[in-house]
């Protein structure tokens, strides 16, 4: 499954489902797809996301969602950590906050 995050002030962001759900949960959301956040709730969600990512780094839990890891491919590039995958979503959230726009996501 792919999940696309949308707001009118930024380009759509599409990511693998398990990574997207993990990031939604770090934002304090249920992880359900589809979903949305109102503009008024975005600053708290972004802060919660940053706090969750910081906590993961501090605990050494740079987790990589299992649906995108390359555990069976010896020649594959190393997997991308969740905090790296969060970068585009963080930019989208910051843009939505600046423009006072809602954010939606769906598969």
Check pLDDT > 60 for residue 33: yes
Q: What mean pLDDT comes out for the span 2-25? A: 96
Can you give the pLDDT at residue 68? 47
How far is residue 16's CA from residue 99's CA, in Å, rounded to a whole number?
A: 26
pLDDT band at 62 (very low <50, low <70, confident <90, very high): low
Check pLDDT > 80 for residue 64: no
Tokens of 47: 């802060």
Going by the DSSP 8-state scheme, the letter that residue 66 receives in this structure is: G
Can you give the pLDDT at residue 73? 57
Check pLDDT > 60 for residue 15: yes
């Amino acid at each position: 499954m792919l999940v696309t995050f949308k707001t009118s002030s930024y380009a759509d962001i599409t990511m693998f489902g398990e990574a997207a759900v993990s990031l939604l949960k770090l934002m304090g959301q249920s992880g359900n797809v589809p979903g949305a956040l109102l503009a008024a709730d975005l600053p708290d969600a972004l802060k919660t996301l940053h706090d969750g990512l910081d906590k993961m780094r501090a605990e050494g839990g740079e987790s990589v969602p299992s649906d995108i890891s390359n555990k069976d491919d010896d020649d594959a590039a190393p997997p991308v950590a969740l905090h790296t995958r969060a970068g585009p979503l963080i930019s989208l959230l910051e843009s939505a906050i600046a423009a006072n726009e809602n954010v939606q996501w769906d598969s």
